[in-house]
Amino acid sequence: MHNIQYISQGSTQEEQLTNIENVLKAGCTWIQLRFKNCDETLFLDTAQKVKKLCSQYQAVFIINDHVNIAKAVDADGVHVGLTDTHVREAREILGDDKIIGGTTNTYEDVLQRIEENCDYIGLGPFRFTTTKEKLSPVLGLEGYQAILDRLKAEKKDIAIYAIGGIEEEDIQPILDLGIHGVALSGLLTNNENTETLISKISQESVVNDSKR
- Over the stretch 92-146, which tens digit does the pLDDT of each residue have? 999 999 999 999 999 999 999 999 999 999 999 999 766 656 667 899 999 999 9
For 169-210, the DSSP string reads HHHHHHHHTT--EEEESHHHHT-TTHHHHHHHHHHHHHHHHH
C-alpha Rg value of the chain to the nearest Å: 16
Mean pLDDT score of the chain, rounded to an integer? 92
Q: What is the pLDDT of residue 211?
A: 55
Q: 125 preceded by cis ω (within 30°)?
A: yes
The CATH H-level superfamily of 4-204 is Aldolase class I (3.20.20.70)
Measured CA to CA, the distance from residue 119 to residue 78 in angstroms comes to 10
Parse the chain into domains and list their residue ranges: 4-204
